[in-house]
Amino acid sequence: MVIPLEGLEYHPSGGLADQHGGPAAVSKSAPLWVRVRKNHWTTRLIALAAFLVVWWILTTPWAWNGDKPIMLPLYLPSIPSVWNAFIRANTIHPIAEGVDREVVGEYGYYLWQHLLATLQRIGIGLFFAIVIGLPLGLLMASVKIISVSVEPYINFLRSLPPLGYIGLLIVWFGIDNTSKIWLLFLAAFPPITIATIAGVSGIKEDQIHAAQSLGASRLQVVSSVTVPAIAPDLITGIRVALGFAWTTVVAAELNNGIPGIGGLAYLSGTELKTPLTITCIIVIGITAIVLDSIIKAMERVLTPWRGKA
């Protein structure tokens, strides 16, 4: 097995969960087992290759199995069929073999249009989650009555599975975009509010005192101390919120979810187009990882003092 290593240097702050940083440089001529021990990317590539090999073994027709794959395509489609589904979803193609009529992607939209529609919903939901969740958190952190009375409802809301109340939202806001955005908003705002409250309670009181002794008004204390001081927690909250919103996206798009990557995943599943479902799952997963890395990068750029002061 040949693992391509060229151009893949370990990035100390990249990757998903490498808190225990690997060393900066591992010689390319080092034996594989050294690279595995020292380089997370090597490890990941090997794991991915192993995964693909297992997939391939399970989905390839074998002579000893009567020329059938170990798992039937309906349950686990082969790698090429998933790839074909991916290509189909991104091109104009005949509606069926030997038919003249051509259609765009899947259900009238290219795959990227499905993804974009979902990202838009998430973006709007997250935007409102921040616009409402941040001030609510600040209010709850500073006014006891509000915190005491509102907190139980936030915890209540947080514990509900989105599938439980999507029907209600559809009754209230219709089957179109509004109810979907509401669902994503409701999933996203509690983590932001809770992170804001945690951030405020973590502010060192002398940092407030110092500002007051320098003549800061109430508003100046909030803008110069409170808001920047909670920024690291807030970004963490947004990261969690985005994760929540992303995992509820299929629920949000269960009904009338086309275009939408979650809707596409659900619909293709119900129509037994498993290769397309798996394509959607892969796209959903990769997008989530990319979004998460973007927020982590923002974290590094916007709050470089995190953990240092």
Q: Which of 16, 209, 271, 282 binds another protein (CB under 8 A)?
A: 209
Which 56-115 residues touch another protein, going by CB under 8 A? none
Which 231-260 residues touch another protein, going by CB under 8 A? 231
* Other CB atoms within 10 A of residue 89 CB: 25
DSSP state of 224: I
CA 245 distance to own-chain centroid: 8
- Residue 162 contacts residue 252 (beta carbons within 8 Å): yes
Please tell me whether residue 223 binds another protein under the rule CB under 8 A: no
Distance separating alpha carbons of residues 187 and 192, to the nearest angstrom: 10
Please tell me whether residue 222 binds another protein under the rule CB under 8 A: no
Distance separating alpha carbons of residues 16 and 1, to the nearest angstrom: 25
What six digits make up the tokens of 237? 């909250």
Size of the site for another protein (CB under 8 A): 24
Which has the closest alpha carbon to 232: 166, 186, 300?
300
**Angle between the 274-302 and 261-270 helix axes, to the nearest 10 degrees?**
160
What residues does 92 pair with on adjacent strands?
104
Q: Which of 174, 217, 297, 298 binds another protein (CB under 8 A)?
A: 217
Please tell me whether residue 178 binds another protein under the rule CB under 8 A: no
Q: Which helix (H) or strand (E) holds 76?
A: none
Please tell me whether residue 212 binds another protein under the rule CB under 8 A: yes
Please tell me whether residue 298 binds another protein under the rule CB under 8 A: no
Q: Which of 19, 213, 272, 301 binds another protein (CB under 8 A)?
A: 213
Residue closer to another protein, measured from CB, 92 or 210: 210
CB neighbour list of residue 291: distance below 8 Å, 6 or more residues apart? 242, 246
Q: Which helix (H) or strand (E) holds 278?
A: helix 274-302
Residue closer to another protein, measured from CB, 1 or 309: 309
Please tell me whether residue 202 binds another protein under the rule CB under 8 A: no
Please tell me whether residue 280 binds another protein under the rule CB under 8 A: no
> Is residue 301 classed exposed, middle or buried when 0-12, 13-18 and 19+ CB atoms within 10 A define those classes?
exposed
- In angstroms, what is the minimal distance from the CB of 202 to another protein? 13
Distance separating alpha carbons of residues 195 and 86, to the nearest angstrom: 38
Residue closer to another protein, measured from CB, 111 or 138: 138
Q: Which x/- pattern over 6-45 shows residues binding another protein (rule: CB under 8 A)?
A: ----------------------------------------
CA 284 distance to own-chain centroid: 8
- In angstroms, what is the minimal distance from the CB of 296 to another protein? 19
Distance separating alpha carbons of residues 306 and 308, to the nearest angstrom: 5
Residue closer to another protein, measured from CB, 212 or 293: 212
Please tell me whether residue 167 binds another protein under the rule CB under 8 A: no
Q: Which of 6, 97, 100, 206 binds another protein (CB under 8 A)?
A: 206
Please tell me whether residue 309 binds another protein under the rule CB under 8 A: yes
CA 215-218-224 angle, 5° bins: 75
Q: Which of 60, 178, 293, 303 binds another protein (CB under 8 A)?
A: 303
Q: Which residues are near another protein by CB under 8 A?
A: 204-207, 209-217, 220, 224-225, 228-229, 231, 303-305, 308-309
